[in-house]
């Protein structure tokens, strides 16, 4: 893997005008029916700058990558040159949109909803700050890490206010776990995950070890285990957990009349309905469960007739159900798992390690 080799060798600048595995591994078309291109913007930990050209949609594009930032300059037409990425991405005949992930992903495209969508125009340059790179000031006044954490403090305070205070008539729609409050926490977690890795960091090293810029000449290693862990637990408490099960919910009764919603909208609706244990929908005629959540022809989430239930007992075919576990139950389960993982192998007090 050439990207890994570049990181290990400590090269400070990589520049190339030819198509290579480095370039092709950074540009991926999730669905050949559309012009959206998934772009991998991160550079190896020891690399400060990477620049290359490639052809997309009949035009040359110049990409300049630095830690946390990607610049895209759309240049002139390829004029029929044959060895171009435009030929490699079959059917791409118009300027593409770029999906730039805002934090580390698993499989390609698995975090598409956490990506920044960028549209480009000929002879224009766009710059995208896709990750958290600066430490900032402790009072949060200069952006960076401290500013991100300061904003989450205000969000958490409002969540607690809504949880502990009886809301007035004008606030009855302002639930403590609505999207207005949970979205900033998810965004903050994505920012922390996006922070660059230190030099010589390799896959398998601590996932919480990052590198942030303290000033123009100083970069510091930071361990964000506590901050990321707290945000993950807060989000779990607010959102709960949904488990997908094939079949129809046959037990219990409908809590409300069926509603036309997407799966994501149904999840948000579910945890707002007192006593809701899950929801289900009948498969559209052209849908198969192996294809994931139902989508329209242009790739958008599909609206379905959703049934919300007060019990969860599933059977039959041609339906899909989602079991809902409330946030408090899910968080207690997670904390129990983490306690077991941390202390299960620890030796008893007073006994040396290896003798327990």
R_g over Cα of the chain: 24
- The pLDDT, as a whole number, for residue 339 is 86
- The pLDDT, as a whole number, for residue 4 is 45
> What average pLDDT does the structure give for the chain?
80
- In the chain, what percentage of residues exceed pLDDT 70? 78
pLDDT, mean of residues 262-290: 89
* pLDDT of 109 higher than 80: no
How many of the other CB atoms lie within 10 Å of CB of 328? 11
- Mean pLDDT is lowest, of 185-199, 207-221, 287-301, for 287-301
pLDDT tens by residue, 153-184: 999 999 998 888 765 555 555 678 888 888 88
- Mean pLDDT is lowest, of 167-181, 198-212, 297-311, for 167-181
- The pLDDT, as a whole number, for residue 282 is 92
pLDDT tens by residue, 237-265: 999 999 999 999 988 899 999 999 999 99
Residue 90 pLDDT grade (very low, low, confident, very high; cuts 50, 70, 90): low
pTM above 0.75, yes or no: no
> Residue 190 — φ and ψ, nearest 5°?
-60, -40
**Rounded to an integer, what distance in angstroms lies between the CA atom of residue 246 and that of residue 317?**
7
């Amino acid at each position: 893997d050439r990207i890994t080799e570049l990181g290990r060798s400590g090269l400070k600048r990589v520049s190339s005008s030819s198509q290579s595995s480095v370039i092709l591994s950074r540009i991926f078309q999730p669905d050949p029916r559309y012009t959206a291109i998934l772009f991998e913007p991160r550079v190896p930990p020891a690399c400060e700058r990477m620049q290359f050209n490639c052809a997309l949609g009949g035009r040359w594009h110049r990409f300049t990558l630095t830690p946390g930032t990607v610049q895209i300059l759309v240049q002139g037409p390829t004029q029929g040159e044959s060895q171009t990425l435009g030929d490699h991405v079959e059917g791409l005949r118009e300027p593409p949109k770029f999906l730039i992930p805002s934090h580390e992903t698993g499989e390609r495209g698995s975090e598409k909803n956490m990506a920044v969508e960028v549209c480009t125009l000929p002879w224009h340059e766009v710059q995208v700050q896709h990750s958290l790179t600066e430490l900032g000031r402790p009072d949060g006044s200069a952006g960076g890490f401290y500013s991100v954490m300061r904003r989450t403090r205000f969000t958490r305070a409002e969540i607690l206010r809504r949880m502990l205070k009886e809301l007035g008539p004008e606030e009855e729609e302002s639930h403590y776990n609505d999207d207005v409050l949970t979205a900033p926490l998810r965004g903050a977690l994505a920012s922390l995950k996006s922070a660059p890795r230190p030099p010589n960091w390799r896959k398998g090293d601590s996932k919480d070890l990052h590198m942030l810029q303290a000033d123009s000449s100083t970069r510091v290693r930071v361990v964000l285990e506590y901050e990321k862990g707290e945000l993950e637990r807060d989000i779990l408490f607010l959102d709960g957990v949904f488990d997908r099960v094939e079949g129809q919910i046959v037990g219990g009764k409908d809590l409300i009349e069926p509603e036309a919603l997407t799966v994501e909208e149904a999840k948000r609706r579910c945890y707002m309905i007192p006593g809701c244990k899950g929801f289900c929908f009948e498969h559209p005629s052209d849908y198969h469960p192996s294809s994931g959540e139902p989508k329209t022809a242009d790739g958008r989430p599909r609206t379905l007739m959703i049934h919300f239930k007060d019990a969860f007992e599933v059977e039959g075919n041609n339906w899909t159900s989602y079991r809902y576990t409330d946030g408090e139950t899910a968080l207690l389960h997670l904390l129990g798992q983490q306690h077991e993982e941390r202390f299960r192998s620890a030796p008893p007090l007073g006994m040396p390690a290896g003798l327990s």
